Structure 1
Amino acid sequence: MKNFIEQLRVIDLSSVLAGPSVGMFFAELGADVTKIEHPIYKDVTRSWKLASEDKNSSFSAYFSAINYKKKYTSLNLKLSEDVLRLKELIKHADVLLMNFKKGDQEKFNISDDTLLSINPQLIIGKINGYGNESDRVAYDLILQAESGFMSMNGKPDSGPIKMPVALIDVLAGHQLKEGILNALLNRTQTQKGSVVTVSLYETAVASLMNQASNYLMNNHIPQRIGSLHPNIAPYGEIFSSKDDKLLTFAIGNDKQFAKLCNFLELDEIPLDDQFSSNVARISNRTELEKILAAKIMQHDAQEIMNYCLKENIPAGIIQNLKEVFETPLAKAMIREEEIDGKLTRRVSSVSFKTKEA
């Protein structure tokens, strides 16, 4: 017997990353997902290739990352007959995904009211850049710049730096998933569809979390401090081991700090007024980093990790992606599929696990 998600029919009119990631989420959970592209001007991410990728391929690794287990079809919504074909599909759909510019829905004669008149139970999920009333084109880099993320990211001498993944797009996709799931739940009670809209800008601001509250409550404007945490120390400092590995620690309380110091034969440090509390360690983190670095250099990385794992001290060796995908947990998240006769690989969009009672 099919579960709730497996019974859903999803039409994915979206492109780039955020919208398609939502389509992939539902597809991976078993929904019937059809991705619709223009017959000539297909999803632009098909062309976003590394220099090493096959230039003649019909898709890229980037495209593969957020398109999995989908059916593909082509429609030109400037043609009335193709709009009619879309409307026929809408009659039997549960969810419609899109990220059109303002005014495009009306231009294509597929306004929200039109779609809901065809299928009153349809859930319409939409992503835009800067809210429903803005027609501004939005890309993740620009959102990172304008929402404060880039101003905080980097080192004091590096200048602002964007994050190496399109994080705002990823987070907007998560917001839309949550909104659609909430709408589907409501539909079971009301039998009515709805429109769920997510903007990249509001997603970015909502994701500022503790940094936002640091400013809103204390007028603290975060500065670029690399991997360091503004509220916790030692947290994010990068240390070199005897065997030239790089490690970092996320020391969240005094007990963890004392245990780390015990291993490093620095038992006097947690008793020192400069380092005895988190607030004190924040004020004196540069001196503390020097003291810890000298001791960490005397040990191999795995020796340190073995102790930290045993004592529940948050620590990790910094790994590249080759090393990441050599671990069992990451390997288990790899999903393979043939697209246009070629093998594609990506990581799962679903990281939760459900066990029935």
Structure 2
Amino acid sequence: MLRDCTVLELASVLAGPSVGQFFAELGATVIKIENPRTQGDVTRRWTAPGETPPDSRSAYFCACNAGKQSVAIDLSTDAGQALLHELAADADIVIANYRPGRAQALGADPDTLRTLNPALLYGHITGYGPDNPRPGYDAVIQAESGFMAMNGSAEGPPTKMPVALMDVLAAHQLKEGLLVGLLRRTRTGQGGYVSVSLMQAAVSGLANQATNYLVAGHVPQRMGSAHPNIAPYGTAYPTADGSAIVLAVGTDRQFAALCEVLARPDLATNDRFATNAARVAHREALDAALQTAIQKHPRGALLDALQARTVPAGAVRTLPDVFADPHAEGMVIRSDNAAHPPGLRQSATHAPTPSLLPPPRYAAHTAAVLSNQLGCTEDDIATLQADAVVVCT
């Protein structure tokens, strides 16, 4: 789909690299520029407990770096900046997550690169916007955007979510902005600057919780997995076999069907539970009644009965269960070569490119890119290595 598109990724960790992998999956050539002073993307060394990768590709790194070429260039040097400028002159997209002001010192800012290439699209992820030099970290953004205050049990402390969701949200917003920019460029021939901040991405993700406050003055409180506007919705209920299910009942009809399956039709006609508003108001009594009823049923049979009545419900799964599901299995990027770590697709809307490269070893493609795309000779590359401008492996 984007086989003629070249992307330069000047980003690390999760948000920016997720965008780079997305474009790689669409067929683009994605060149990941890594910093020799840090031995590349910091996530190469973020290993899980018990993980001992034989090379520089941790499981975390593999989450968002498939399909790329790794080129190690020291952009703090004049020669390194010159190489970047040559690459940018023929690129279509740059993805960066520099703190405001840092890119200028490296010759990697949008003004410099777009002067060289007016058709270039420059996608920039910051913590708090292009005019705020404060660095952005997902855990801090979760705290400052209100997510932690809402997350966790009523009796427990504010709780961070187990996935860097603010990074994920910002990545999706940047993907959208760059795709719109590509569409605009086909009509005008001009590139542009697309800026996304983790903080604004997080605030936009507050969705109904934000409007509950802005419209109704309701300040969300920690309430476990329950939903402030709907009941029963999100709470996990134990079943007879020691498993658990979650309900997502959004209508009174669905609630009546749930009660019939549980052999408690009286609940649906009880004034405290007959409507969603009444169920929200009497949530504790509702949960107690449902927990008693649901515990009498084994999970599999109960889920089958609920699905037959189109009552939204699902099993609480662990990750081994998740990846045994065909819906998740189809999103895993695998390789016939055991030495190539797997990855996970960033989008479920398209099939991965058949020739998608595995996540790259650090600096594995430096020599090839310098030779093939910039016309550097072996002597040129040797000199750049000797001067510590590039690293080749």
Q: Aligned letter for 1:37?
A: E
Aligned to 2:103: 105
CA drift at 1:40: 3.5
Q: Aligned letter for 2:281?
A: S
Q: Which of 312, 315, 326 is the equivalent residue of 1:314?
A: 312
CA distance in 2, matches of 1:51, 1:290: 38
Query: Does structure 1 residue 12 correspond to structure 2 residue 4?
Result: no
Aligned to 1:146: 144
CA distance in 1, matches of 2:175, 2:108: 22
Aligned to 1:214: 212
Q: Does the 8 Å contact 1:258/1:267 carry over to 2?
A: yes
Aligned to 1:60: 58
Matched length: 350
Q: Does the 8 Å contact 2:10/2:94 carry over to 1?
A: yes
Distance 1:353-1:15 versus aligned 2 partners, 3 A rule: closer
Query: Does structure 1 residue 32 correspond to structure 2 residue 2?
Result: no
CA distance in 2, matches of 1:70, 1:36: 10
Q: Aligned letter for 1:347?
A: L
CA distance in 1, matches of 2:347, 2:215: 35
Q: Which of 84, 93, 103 is the equivalent residue of 1:95?
A: 93
Q: Aligned letter for 1:6?
A: R
Q: Secondary structure at the match of 2:190?
A: coil
Q: Does the 8 Å contact 1:68/1:337 carry over to 2?
A: no
CA drift at 1:55: 6.1
- TM-score, length of structure 1 as denominator length: 0.95
Q: Aligned letter for 2:343?
A: R
Q: Secondary structure at the match of 2:36?
A: coil
Q: Aligned letter for 1:176?
A: L
Runs (5+) with no aligned partner, structure 1: none
Q: Aligned letter for 2:28?
A: A
Aligned to 2:340: 343
Aligned to 2:327: 329
Q: Aligned letter for 2:307?
A: L
CA distance in 2, matches of 1:268, 1:117: 71
CA drift at 1:110: 3.1
Q: Does the 8 Å contact 1:153/1:226 carry over to 2?
A: yes
CA drift at 1:258: 0.3
Aligned to 2:119: 121
Q: Aligned letter for 1:103?
A: G
CA distance in 2, matches of 1:109, 1:7: 25
Q: Aligned letter for 1:20?
A: P
Q: Secondary structure at the match of 1:6?
A: coil
The superposition leaves residues 25-72 of structure 1 with CA deviations (integer Å, 9 ceiling, x where unpaired) of: 000111111101012311111111113111663121000101001011
CA drift at 1:217: 0.8
Aligned to 1:45: 43
- TM-score, length of structure 2 as denominator length: 0.87
Q: Which of 73, 76, 83 is the equivalent residue of 1:75?
A: 73
CA distance in 1, matches of 2:316, 2:139: 25
CA drift at 1:342: 2.9
Aligned residues: CA RMSD: 1.5
CA drift at 1:144: 0.1
CA drift at 1:140: 0.2
Matches within 5 A, 1:158-173: 158-173=156-171
CA distance in 1, matches of 2:84, 2:104: 14
Q: Aligned letter for 1:134?
A: N
CA drift at 1:338: 8.9
> Taking every aligned residue pair, what percent have the same amino acid on both sides?
43
Q: Which of 142, 153, 170 is the equivalent residue of 1:155?
A: 153
Q: Aligned letter for 2:248?
A: A
Aligned to 1:283: 281
Q: Does the 8 Å contact 2:145/2:199 carry over to 1?
A: yes
Q: Does the 8 Å contact 2:119/2:192 carry over to 1?
A: yes
Q: Aligned letter for 1:138?
A: G
Query: Does structure 1 residue 238 correspond to structure 2 residue 236?
Result: yes
Aligned to 2:365: none
Q: Which of 19, 24, 40 is the equivalent residue of 1:22?
A: 19
Q: Aligned letter for 1:174?
A: H
CA drift at 1:218: 1.2
Aligned to 1:181: 179
Identify which range, 291-300 or 175-184, moves more after superposition: 291-300
Q: Does the 8 Å contact 1:237/1:248 carry over to 2?
A: yes
